[in-house]
């Protein structure tokens, strides 16, 4: 479903990604781990088309199409979803109004009819339960005055509503306490499906205790230097990133 080949990218002239290769099949969940500055968030940003990030080499195909040629909003409508590390606040725009517009934009692309207000409310009530998001939050301005945990739950709630084919979770665990982490992880697990692929980007392994990935990749210096199963994540947790960096360093000499 997602094929990344030799992907190079830079931000304001600074090279961040130095040749990433990754294949993600539909129905699979992959974790991308790495130390700070390894390019994890850049990878997520490139996949969703943030203007600031320039692809200098390589390709990304999504369902056989050239993902990099699509506008960000088109990628979203085609089913690419990003759970933001830092969800923004938009004062005066209620979450439900925002999400209904988004959902209808996505539905339009899928050739489905617009969802009317009643059906939307019904659907959002159900999906909000998934991440234990109080319904009252939906009528408040997007993320305004939300706690860190509420913001992240709101992201997963939106994912549940938009039903993406490819979900990218960028440091969804950051800033969450154990209870909130469990709630978010349960929500994500409930959304695992044979029709959906997920890319989970994280610094720590603790999220992966709850969301067990099919595959784990370790990103160092803008390249995937090691791939393995769920146990690789645990090894990283125990031994840190240093040993992998050293291993890579030794190999490249």
Partner 1 sequence: MSEQTSANDLFEPGEYKYGFVTDIESDVAPPGLNEGIIRFISAKKEEPEFMLEWRLKAFRAWEKMVKDEGSPAWAHVKFPPIDYQAISYYAAPGKKKQLNSLDEVDPELLATFEKLGIPLEEQKMLTGVAVDAVFDSVSVATTFKEKLYEAGVIFCSFSEAVKTHPELIKKYLGTVVPVTDNYFAALNSAVFTDGSFCYVPKGVRCPMELSTYFRINTANTGQFERTLIVAEEGAHVSYLEGCTAPMRDENQLHAAVVELIAADDAGIKYSTVQNWYPGDKEGKGGIYNFVTKRGKCADRAKISWTQVETGSAITWKYPSVILQGEDSVGEFYSVAVTNNYQQADTGTKMVHLGKNSKSTIISKGISAGHGQNSYRGLVQMNPKAAGARNYSQCDSLLIGDKCGAHTFPYIDVRNDSGQVEHEASTSKIGEDQIFYCKQRGLSEEDAVSMIVNGFCKAVFKELPMEFAVEAQKLLNVTLEGAIG
Nearer to partner 1, 142 or 219 (CB): 142
Nearer to partner 1, 164 or 221 (CB): 164
Note whether 109 binds partner 1 by CB under 8 A.
Answer: yes
Q: If you ran DSSP here, which 8-state letter would residue 173 be given?
A: T
* Binding pattern for the stretch 146-185 against partner 1, x by CB under 8 A and - elsewhere: ------------x---x-----------------------
* Binding pattern for the stretch 79-108 against partner 1, x by CB under 8 A and - elsewhere: --xx-x--xx-xxxx----xx-xx--xx--
Note whether 136 binds partner 1 by CB under 8 A.
Answer: no
Nearer to partner 1, 32 or 48 (CB): 48
Contact of 153 with 84, CB cutoff 8 Å = no
Which part of the chain contacts partner 1 (CB under 8 A), choosing from 67-75, 114-122, 132-140, 191-199?
67-75
Note whether 48 binds partner 1 by CB under 8 A.
Answer: yes
At its nearest, how many Å lie between partner 1 and the CB of residue 86? 8
What DSSP string runs through 155-167?
HHHHHHHH--SEE
Nearer to partner 1, 188 or 233 (CB): 188
At its nearest, how many Å lie between partner 1 and the CB of residue 187? 17
Nearer to partner 1, 15 or 50 (CB): 50
CA atoms within 13 A on the CB side of 129: 5
Q: If you ran DSSP here, which 8-state letter would residue 25 be given?
A: -
Nearer to partner 1, 87 or 228 (CB): 87
Classify residue 19 as left (phi > 0), alpha (psi -120 to 50) or beta: left
Q: Which pairs with CB-CB distance under 8 Å and at least 24 residues apart come from 34-38?
A: 34/203, 34/218, 34/219, 34/220, 34/241, 35/203, 35/220, 35/241, 35/245, 36/203, 38/219, 38/220, 38/221, 38/222
Question: Please, what is the Cα angle at 189 between 223 and 85, to 5 degrees?
Answer: 50
Distances in Å between the Cα of 125 and the Cα atoms of 116, 118, 137 are 14, 11, 11
Binding site for partner 1 (CB under 8 A): 48, 50-51, 71-73, 76-77, 81-82, 84, 87-88, 90-93, 98-99, 101-102, 105-106, 109, 141, 158, 162
């Amino acid at each position: 479903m997602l094929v990344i080949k030799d992907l190079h990218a830079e931000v304001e002239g600074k090279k961040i990604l130095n040749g990433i290769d990754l294949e993600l099949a539909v129905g699979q969940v992959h974790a991308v781990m790495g130390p700070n500055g390894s390019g994890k968030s850049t990878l997520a940003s490139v996949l969703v088309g943030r203007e600031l990030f320039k692809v200098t080499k390589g390709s990304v195909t999504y369902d056989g199409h050239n993902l990099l040629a699509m506008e960000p909003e088109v990628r979203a409508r085609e089913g690419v979803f990003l759970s933001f590390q830092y969800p923004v606040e938009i004062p005066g725009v209620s979450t439900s109004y925002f999400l209904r517009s988004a959902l209808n934009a996505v539905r339009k692309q899928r050739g489905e009819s617009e969802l009317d207000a009643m059906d939307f409310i019904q659907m959002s009530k159900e999906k909000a339960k998934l991440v234990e998001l109080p319904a009252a939050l939906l009528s408040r301005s997007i993320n305004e005055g939300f706690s860190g945990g509420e913001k992240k739950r709101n992201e997963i709630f939106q994912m549940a509503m938009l039903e993406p084919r490819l979900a990218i979770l960028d440091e969804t665990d950051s800033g969450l306490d154990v209870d909130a982490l469990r709630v978010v992880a349960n929500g994500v697990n409930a959304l695992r499906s044979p029709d959906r692929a997920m890319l989970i980007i994280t610094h720590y392994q603790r999220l992966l205790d709850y969301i067990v990935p099919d595959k784990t990749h370790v990103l160092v210096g803008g390249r995937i230097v090691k791939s393995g199963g769920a146990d690789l994540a645990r090894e990283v947790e125990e031994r840190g990133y240093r040993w992998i960096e050293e291993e890579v360093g030794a190999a490249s000499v």
